[in-house]
Structure 1
């Protein structure tokens, strides 16, 4: 009878250790997995003064972004998402101030539109508000 009790006790300890490990593993995966659909490369094609241009925005998992016009970088900064709202800042528009935008994902999360909620930066508003961006690739 003593053997059975000791055996059950060891089995229960193993079970608890395994359960704890599984919970920790799933928690780590949940916090490190990429659940931010904004992460990746997004492109807008337009024209200014009769000349075509491409605006490329790259949003990274680490909360940074870069903006390019016709493959030339013109802005870098930081952003973060809360549900469907993006808070974005960059040095050209005072990096201590966040512009706030609603992000509307369309289709199969392969295109998006930014809708200004509050932003005093004219250049950022004009370069994002209401424009349709298409997803190019995913960046890790």
Structure 2
């Protein structure tokens, strides 16, 4: 098949053909030869690049695993934060109920003092109750 282009049959400066296409003429190289040579080096480089891509892919997978672990840790932390927030809210609600209960007890005591006609004590309790209520309404 390639016998017609063997170097022994033709001189290097003659135009040679391979499948009807020029291959060599003197010191010039035909584009098809360059294309096949470039393809060879591209394949060689692509194999190297594929190996690098495999390494990069492995690195990326490791980073992805680390990121997933970090996300899971953040979810756990967020759940703990929510539990702490809920616990703090429960404590706040209990404190508010306790304050309301104390205010109701003071109002009941005030009504008892007024019923006994102990106006000095009733006046004192009314004034203190008003201070506490004002302070609490500003805080809560």
Normalised TM-score (structure 2): 0.36
**Which gives a bigger RCO, structure 1 or 2 (Cα 8 Å, sep 6+)?**
1
Q: Which has the higher helix share?
A: 2
Q: Which has the higher strand share?
A: 1
